[in-house]
Structure 1
């Protein structure tokens, strides 16, 4: 059933919908807003985006803010010149537009999900079902998010379409591929760097590892089974590394290891490496897609102006309360 849903989801993403008999509106978002889930809440370059797709992002953003605030957020608070209420609606709108642009570009580029993508979606679903304690439990969790199985597969398909588009562009295929020298120019302008990062549970463990690395530069990083290893490629200040880690990295010579740097995850050793060209191209692609989304023609329907983030979240909480308590994922 998962594979059939995944294939159907991919087809819906890439083909214009045919007229179908409308069912009476229902679902969590309808109960919260009175807006039918299949209402075209906005269009992106002429592509209709149903209300349920937008409300998913709005629910996620409102939930995050409520978690950070420890309760009801102050919706009138300033958020960069906007009220928090307006800012959250805009953030959800940006996410919905970005997904629509992924789908649009996939169609324009002839990009479709492969058998490997569909198999990966099957595995993702199976893992989520297992973590939830069974398919019924997972479907109940989705229901509290305003989603059904097909909705969840559509969001999953967007992720895999993005990865497929990125792989095509990085390999030089299709209209989204960079011109010669474009990624290098982007990397220089953004100040991109690549680094090896070893993170240990304590500064003492990091210091012991550093002494071994300095005495034996040929030592394989895989020898450190008690730590987390990552190769990162990022731009300064983008949040990939902490300010302290970036400061330590900027002071290093090529292939030199830093002193232990305290982070939220533990103590890290960092080493600047030659820039990872593939990772730089992937970052370039992400920026290109964001620029396409920022310049997209977006038109919101009348229904969009009839709710605020505060009224949506209030209605959402009421609708969820009527469904009873949620079951945490084990």
Structure 2
């Protein structure tokens, strides 16, 4: 999972933090495109109402994604399928999932007494200043936000959810708190998801010409030399780190003092290293493993539960959002995605033509 929820929330914060000085049009472009008032309730998540303004923000985000990846130049074919759904149903479902996730964050924050602090608001102000400077001033950046249909209140609400998420995670990391996980729950999650923790010594051939057999052979010889020393060690677990400091070309080892914790296929290590790690018992080390970018020695370690903990928190939050009681309104059911997006594109074009002034 690799903190995908945190990324989603941070994305919302990065987009919307800076809207704290925006104009307050009646729902902005999103509601103009849909014909739905911004305060209209489109759905509820465990009893928490989700407004049209919030849901349409996520719907526009999903439609923009589809336009980037599924429009071949002849317009979006909304009847085409992805993951077994039409693109129209896919867009509505993705927006629904994001809306449910944010609503769950807000509900959890209420349940566990997490609120925005003065420090949070100060951080939001700093982010506003930085973004405004990045875009050449407040007016220019507000024009960018206006194309997203964000008004001040909704932008601040989306941004605030990111900070609520961080407070919930801090509570989760506090031993003895209501959200703190039991160690056996973490262990069970790590086992079910197939987490592995390894240390490795990497001798890189990335800079060598693949056709330079002599350079590749020299790299292999150094790897075999390191393995020979490790194989003759009375304390391989200790000496592995010592040998890594001497032989490894890894430049960020100090950022991974407990090793590398990953799930198979997540890209942390080459496939050959993943396969070697799976074949080892805890405390065992591999022979020389050849990969596209060089040669590796792998030491299998006990799974680092501290590294797994953030993913477990996200899994708990996502599970709560997935299992939430969601009810939708007739207005939601009648929402025509293709028409909404066509109208949104037209409204954006009109906004651009007016120099960013919202009508």
Give the alignment's Cα RMSD to 1 decimal: 3.9
| Alignment pair present for 1:183 and 2:186 | yes
Aligned to 1:217: 244
Closer, same or farther: CA 117–24 of 1 in aligned 2, 3 Å: closer
8 Å Cα contact 1:111-1:161 kept in structure 2: yes
Bigger Rg, which one: 2
Aligned to 1:108: 111
8 Å Cα contact 2:223-2:297 kept in structure 1: no
Q: How does 1:12-161 map to 2 (within 5 A)?
A: 25-70=26-71, 71=73, 72-161=75-164
From 269, 285, 292, the counterpart of 2:313: 285
Using the alignment, how far apart are the partners of 1:51 and 1:202 within structure 2?
Answer: 54
Using the alignment, how far apart are the partners of 1:308 and 1:268 within structure 2?
Answer: 54
Closer, same or farther: CA 111–233 of 1 in aligned 2, 3 Å: farther
| Alignment pair present for 1:302 and 2:303 | no
Q: How does 1:230-309 map to 2 (within 5 A)?
A: 233-237=261-265, 240-241=266-267, 245-252=270-277, 259=290, 261=292, 274-309=302-337
> How far 1:73 moved relative to its partner?
2.3
Closer, same or farther: CA 221–114 of 1 in aligned 2, 3 Å: farther
Greater mean deviation of Cα atoms: 149-158 or 268-277: 268-277
8 Å Cα contact 2:25-2:151 kept in structure 1: no
8 Å Cα contact 1:169-1:176 kept in structure 2: yes
Unaligned runs of 5+ in 2: 1-15, 210-215, 227-242
8 Å Cα contact 1:89-1:308 kept in structure 2: no
Task: Provide the TM-score with structure 2 as the length reference.
Answer: 0.70
SS in structure 2 at match of 1:160: helix
Using the alignment, how far apart are the partners of 1:123 and 1:200 within structure 2?
Answer: 43
Closer, same or farther: CA 193–126 of 1 in aligned 2, 3 Å: farther
Closer, same or farther: CA 109–138 of 1 in aligned 2, 3 Å: same
Deviations, residues 30-55 of structure 1 (Å, cap 9, x unaligned): 21010111211111111111111111
Closer, same or farther: CA 57–205 of 1 in aligned 2, 3 Å: farther
Deviations, residues 163-198 of structure 1 (Å, cap 9, x unaligned): 221221132354332234111111011111346799
8 Å Cα contact 2:270-2:291 kept in structure 1: no
Aligned to 1:14: none
8 Å Cα contact 1:98-1:290 kept in structure 2: yes
Using the alignment, how far apart are the partners of 1:220 and 1:130 within structure 2?
Answer: 45
SS in structure 2 at match of 1:204: coil
Closer, same or farther: CA 129–255 of 1 in aligned 2, 3 Å: farther
Using the alignment, how far apart are the partners of 1:306 and 1:270 within structure 2?
Answer: 58
From 347, 350, 355, the counterpart of 1:319: 347
**How many residues end up aligned between the 2 structures?**
300
Closer, same or farther: CA 25–117 of 1 in aligned 2, 3 Å: closer
